[in-house]
Amino acid sequence: MSHLRIDGERLLGRLRALGGIGRDGDGRLVRLAASDADRAGRDAVAGWMREAGLEVMLDRIGNLFGVWDPGASDAAPLMLGSHIDTVIDAGIYDGCYGVLGGLEVVQTLREAGVAPARPIVVGAFTNEEGVRYAPDMMGSLVFAGGLGVEAALATVGTDGTVLGEELARIGHAGPHEPGFLRPHAYLELHVEQGPVLEREGVPIGAVENLQGISWQRVTIEGEANHAGTTPMSMRRDAGQAAARVVTFLRDRVSRSNAPTVATVGCMVFEPNAINVIPSRAVFTVDLRDPDEARLLAEEVALARYLEELAAAEGVAITVERLARFQPVTFDPSIVRAIEAAAAAHGLRCRRMTSGAGHDAQMMARVCPAAMIFVPSAGGISHNPREHTGLADLVAGANVLLDVARELAGA
Ligand code: HGY
Ligand code: MN
Ligand code: MN
Ligand code: MN
């Protein structure tokens, strides 16, 4: 095991500095893709990349890369990456830990005068969260060829803006075609965002697979009417119908022993007035399962239920697919390298599945990929209370350092 170690204080300092960029009027961290807050975060990360001696490059979908090509070799680069866009009212570690951890690894190698046999690239992918523009993991999906760049740039956001116009407005619509870099391998460091590692007292997760994700937007059209004068039997209540879908999903998923999870995260009623029966309800459904056949079965069951519900409630129901990603298995040899690096550091490690979506899910389409997890306090994420202690942050980044050295021949 090498005695090279990352600089934990520098990593934590940058995580906290980046975590302070994009606070809204209520102090919430909201750095949505291609927003002014995202620009500020991107500019900070690009500055740190340059400070570390990396060449900063942008592709057309705004994926940001810091490139270290020590010998201008034509060998395919090792890529360390994640994302810096956030959800609404986010924590400071989700995504940012992987980008800044990757940068810390490169800066540590450069400062130690250790030259890798292949270039190393630190990537910050555009719009991993998908909160403003669906689907999520969009930048890495385009990079991996799973979505055309023109279609992605034309995406209309929840706020009616167009992604390509917003990227141009913030000055992050780059010149390079997505996929202009063809990585030899991809490694992503990320907080677990779940309860497993903390509960088991294990500091390192070697992520061997990632569950499938299905995102849908459901619109229910009923009829506005007076809340006081309309008998219950005469209502075409879009709100009631929507509520039944939420309960259907929870009851169905809770009844089975499968690890399937279902979330209705967004819901709006129209006209949204206390004394008007909702004429319309629009809500999102996030379904996930590590098994593709089960995920498909859940989608079919929901579609069937919506048909029955429309007839029973006298409403019209339409569904728009926002994202659909199959489960992914990561590269077993990199998973073993993570386990070996953890062991060399005397750190317990366990293999695990990722419940969250990650850019690694897309990068696994174009090169061997895997992920390193560190514990999340209380298993909390997508929440300002998201936290990982410094010792765990440093341990994860040192494992990343050693696996990166092995993959890059440094
Ligand atoms: O939705 C996800 O799992 C990821 O945070 N975008
Ligand atoms: Mn993330
Ligand atoms: Mn996230
Ligand atoms: Mn992710």
Task: State if residue 128 touches ligand 1 by the CB under 6 angstroms criterion.
Answer: yes
Average confidence (pLDDT) over 23-28: 97
End-to-end CA distance of the chain: 13
Q: Is 357 in the pocket of ligand 1 (CB under 6 A)?
A: yes
Instruction: For residue 87, report the distance from its CA to the centre of ligand 4, in Å.
Output: 11
pLDDT in tens, 286-331: 999 999 999 999 999 999 999 999 999 999 999 999 999 999 999 9
d(CA 190, ligand 3 centre) in Å: 10
User: Between the CA of residue 146 and those of 5, 137, 295, what are the distances in Å?
Assistant: 36, 10, 20
Q: Which helix (H) or strand (E) holds 360?
A: helix 359-363
What is the DSSP-derived secondary structure letter of residue 23? B
Q: Are strands 185-191 and 78-83 parallel, antiparallel or unpaired?
A: parallel
Report which ligand 1 atom has the smallest distance to the Cα of 137.
Answer: 6
Is the pLDDT at 268 greater than 60? The verdict is yes
Per-residue confidence (pLDDT) for residue 71, from 0 to 100: 79
Atom of ligand 1 nearest to the CA of 130: 6
Q: What percent of the chain has pLDDT over 70?
A: 99
The minimum-distance atom of ligand 1 relative to the CA of 356 is 3
CB atoms within 5 A of ion ligand 2 belong to 94-95
Is the confidence at residue 387, as pLDDT, over 70? yes
Tell whether ligand 1 has an atom less than 6 A from the beta carbon of residue 355: no
Judged by its nearest atom, the ligand closest to the C-alpha of residue 131 is 1
Q: Whose CA is nearest to atom 2 of ligand 1?
A: 357
Q: What is the mean pLDDT of the chain?
A: 97
- Distance from Cα 372 to the centre of ligand 3, integer Å: 15
Cα–Cα distances in Å, from 100 out to 11, 83, 195, 398?
7, 10, 23, 13
Q: What is the average per-residue pLDDT within 201-215? A: 98
Q: Is the CB of 129 under 6 A from ligand 1?
A: yes
Q: 136 C-alpha to center of ligand 4: Å?
A: 9
* CA-to-CA separations, 118 to 57, 157, 184, 312, 410, in angstroms, rounded: 18, 38, 9, 62, 8
- Enumerate residues 6+ apart whose C-beta is below 8 A from 402: 1, 2, 341, 344, 345
Please tell me the distance between residue 221's alpha carbon and the centre of ligand 2 in angstroms.
34
Q: Whose CA is nearest to atom 6 of ligand 1?
A: 129
- Six-digit token string for 47: 């500055």
Domains and CATH numbers, the chain: 8-210+327-408 (3.40.630.10), 212-325 (3.30.70.360)
| pLDDT above 80: residue 149 | yes
Q: Over 60: is that where the pLDDT of 29 sits? A: yes
Regarding the beta carbon of 102 and ligand 1, being less than 6 Å apart is answered no
Residue 1: pLDDT over 60: no
Q: What is the ipTM of this complex?
A: 0.91
Distant-in-sequence, close-in-space partners of 275: CB < 8 Å, separation ≥ 6: 226, 227, 228
CA angle 301, 381, 347 (to 5 degrees): 110
Write down the pLDDT at residue 74: 85
Residue ranges for the known binding site for Zn(2+) are 83, 94, 129, 190, 382
- What pLDDT, on the 0 to 100 scale, is given for residue 73? 74
User: Is 85 a pocket residue for ligand 1 (Cβ < 6 Å)?
Assistant: no
Q: Is the CB of 136 under 6 A from ligand 1?
A: yes
Give per-residue pLDDT as tens, 78-134: 999 999 999 999 999 999 999 999 999 999 999 999 999 999 999 999 999 999 999
Distance 46 CA to ligand 4 centre (A): 20
Q: What H or E segment, with its residue span, contains residue 269? A: strand 267-270
C-alpha angle 345-348-352 in degrees, rounded to nearest 5: 125
Short-list 136, 227, 198, CA closest to 352: 198
Q: Is 38 in the pocket of ligand 1 (CB under 6 A)?
A: no
Tokens of 324: 């659909």
Predicted confidence at residue 190, as pLDDT, reads: 98
- pLDDT over 70 (residue 278): yes
* DSSP type of residue 274: T
Strand 369-374, strand 185-191: pairing = parallel
